Chains A and B, each alone.
Chain A
Amino acid sequence: MNMHALKTEPDAVVEAVVVATTAAPVVALMPKRPPLAEKYAKMAKETAVRVVPPLIVLALGMLFWELVCRRAGSTLPPPSRVFKETKELIFDPFFDRGGIDKGLFWHLSASLQRVFLGYSLAAVAGIGLGTLVGQSVWAMRGLDPIFQVLRTIPPLAWLPLSLAAFRDGQPSAIFVIFITSIWPIIINTAVGIRNIPQDYRNVAAVVQLNPLEFFWKIMIPAAAPYIFTGLRIGIGLSWLAIVAAEMLIGGVGIGFFIWDAWNSSHISEIILALFYVGIIGFVLDRIIAGMAKFVTRGTALN
Chain B
Amino acid sequence: MHPYLKLDHIDKVFTRGSASTEVLKDINLTIDKGEYVSIIGHSGCGKSTLLNIVAGLTTTTMGCVLLENREVNSPGPDRAVVFQNHSLLPWLTVYENVRLGVDKVFASSKTRGERDAWTMHNLNLVQMAHAKDKRPSEISGGMKQRVGIARALAMEPKVLLLDEPFGALDALTRAHLQDSVMALHQKLGNTILMITHDVDEAVLLSDRIVMMTNGPSARIGEVLDVPLARPRKRLELATNAGYLKCRQRVLEFLYERHRFVEAA
B74 contact set on A, CB distance < 8 A: 205
Instruction: Give A119-159 as 1s and 0s: 1 = Cβ < 8 Å from B's Cβ atoms.
Output: 00000000000000000000000000000000000000000
A224 contact set on B, CB distance < 8 A: 91
With contacts A209-B104, A298-B137 taken as known, whether A203 is within 8 angstroms of B91 at the C-beta atoms is no
Give CA–CA (A71, B34) in the complex, Å.
94
Give CA–CA (A207, B87) in the complex, Å.
13
Partner of A208, one of B91, B104, B136, B138: B104
A205 contact set on B, CB distance < 8 A: 56-57, 74-75
A301 contact set on B, CB distance < 8 A: 90
- Are the CB atoms of B77 and A208 closer together than 8 Å? yes
- Are the CB atoms of B90 and A208 closer together than 8 Å? no
A209 contact set on B, CB distance < 8 A: 104
In the assembled complex, how far is the CB of residue B90 from the closest CB belonging to chain A, in whole angstroms?
A: 5
With contacts A202-B57, A218-B89 taken as known, whether A302 is within 8 angstroms of B137 at the C-beta atoms is yes
- Are the CB atoms of A302 and B75 closer together than 8 Å? no
B63 contact set on A, CB distance < 8 A: none
A171 lies within 8 A of chain B by Cβ: no
In the assembled complex, how far is the CB of residue B52 from the closest CB belonging to chain A, in whole angstroms?
A: 8
Question: Chain A interface: which of B15-23, B25-33, B78-86?
Answer: B78-86
- Are the CB atoms of B91 and A207 closer together than 8 Å? no
With contacts A3-B137, A217-B100 taken as known, whether A199 is within 8 angstroms of B77 at the C-beta atoms is no
Interface residues on A, range: 20 to 34
- Are the CB atoms of A206 and B81 closer together than 8 Å? yes
With contacts A202-B83, A221-B89 taken as known, whether A208 is within 8 angstroms of B137 at the C-beta atoms is no
A300 contact set on B, CB distance < 8 A: 90, 137
Instruction: Give B170-188 as 1s and 0s: 1 = Cβ < 8 Å from A's Cβ atoms.
Output: 0000000000000000000
In the assembled complex, how far is the CB of residue A3 from the closest CB belonging to chain B, in whole angstroms?
A: 7
The listed residue with most A CB atoms (<10 A of its CB), out of B85, B100, B138, is B100
With contacts A199-B83, A298-B135 taken as known, whether A206 is within 8 angstroms of B89 at the C-beta atoms is no
A21 lies within 8 A of chain B by Cβ: no
A217 contact set on B, CB distance < 8 A: 89, 100
With contacts A207-B100, A298-B135, A302-B137 taken as known, whether A199 is within 8 angstroms of B85 at the C-beta atoms is yes
- Are the CB atoms of A202 and B87 closer together than 8 Å? yes
B81 contact set on A, CB distance < 8 A: 202, 206
In the assembled complex, how far is the CB of residue A138 from the closest CB belonging to chain B, in whole angstroms?
A: 19
B101 lies within 8 A of chain A by Cβ: yes
Q: Which positions 172-221 of chain A face chain B at CB distance < 8 Å?
A: 197, 199-200, 202-203, 205-209, 213, 217-218, 221
In the assembled complex, how far is the CB of residue A193 from the closest CB belonging to chain B, in whole angstroms?
A: 15
- With both beta carbons as reference points, the residue of chain B lying nearest to A205 in the complex is identified as B75
A170 lies within 8 A of chain B by Cβ: no
B153 lies within 8 A of chain A by Cβ: no
A207 contact set on B, CB distance < 8 A: 77, 100-101, 104-105, 155
Partner of A206, one of B80, B90, B91, B138: B80
With contacts A206-B55, A208-B104 taken as known, whether A299 is within 8 angstroms of B76 at the C-beta atoms is no
- With both beta carbons as reference points, the residue of chain A lying nearest to B135 in the complex is identified as A298
B75 contact set on A, CB distance < 8 A: 202, 205-206, 208
Contacts A206-B77, A207-B105, A213-B104 supplied; 17 other A-B pairs, CB < 8 Å? A3-B138, A200-B89, A202-B81, A205-B57, A206-B57, A206-B76, A206-B79, A206-B80, A206-B101, A207-B155, A208-B76, A217-B100, A224-B91, A296-B91, A298-B135, A298-B137, A300-B90
Measured CB to CB, the residues of A under 8 A from B are: 3, 197, 199-200, 202-203, 205-209, 213, 217-218, 221-222, 224, 296, 298-302
